[in-house]
């Protein structure tokens, strides 16, 4: 399963299970356990700095323009989304065949872990520091 396929499933989960009234910034990552066992925070911040910075700013007012083009024939619901003092999350899916659980780490928790010297996140770290959910 790739990130796009998981994100499609995650969107369905969010529509059905996400707490009403809670807005958030979310970044989605997949770790294919047949290739590696952990997710590198340093590589993420280095290669996708704009995304990690976006999530860190979720404690402040952040406005984002949604492009007007359509995706899969579906018109965008509105032009701008605004986040103010919303939490930011990194969702990690450690992929192996038949696995349905994923982990949601608060960005503020990731910042604390990095200050303590943690640069790799594996499933054991997630079991202790993240919210765990199942996806269909």
The tens digit of pLDDT for each residue in 65-100 reads 887 765 666 677 788 888 877 888 899 999 988 888
- Whole-model pTM: value is 0.82
Which pLDDT does position 85 carry in this prediction? 78
Which pLDDT does position 76 carry in this prediction? 73
Q: Print burial letters for 20-57: b (CB count within 10 Å at least 16), e (below 16).
A: eeeebbbbbbbbeeeeeebbebeebbeeeeebbebbbe
Residues of the chain with pLDDT under 70: 49-59, 69-74
Which pLDDT does position 53 carry in this prediction? 64
Q: Which domains does the chain have, with CATH numbers?
A: 3-68+77-134 (3.40.1350)
């Amino acid at each position: 399963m790739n990130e796009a396929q998981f994100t499609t499933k995650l969107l369905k989960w969010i529509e059905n299970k996400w707490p009403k009234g809670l807005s958030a910034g979310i970044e989605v990552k997949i770790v294919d356990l047949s290739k590696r066992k952990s997710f590198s925070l340093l590589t993420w911040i280095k290669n996708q700095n704009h995304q990690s910075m976006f999530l860190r700013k979720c404690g402040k007012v952040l406005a984002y323009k949604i492009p007007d083009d359509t995706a899969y024939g579906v018109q965008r619901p509105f032009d701008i989304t605004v986040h103010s003092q919303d939490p930011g999350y990194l969702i990690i899916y450690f992929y192996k065949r038949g696995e349905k659980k994923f982990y949601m780490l608060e960005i503020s928790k990731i910042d604390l872990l990095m200050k303590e010297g943690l640069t790799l996140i594996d499933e054991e770290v997630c079991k202790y520091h993240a919210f765990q959910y199942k996806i269909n």
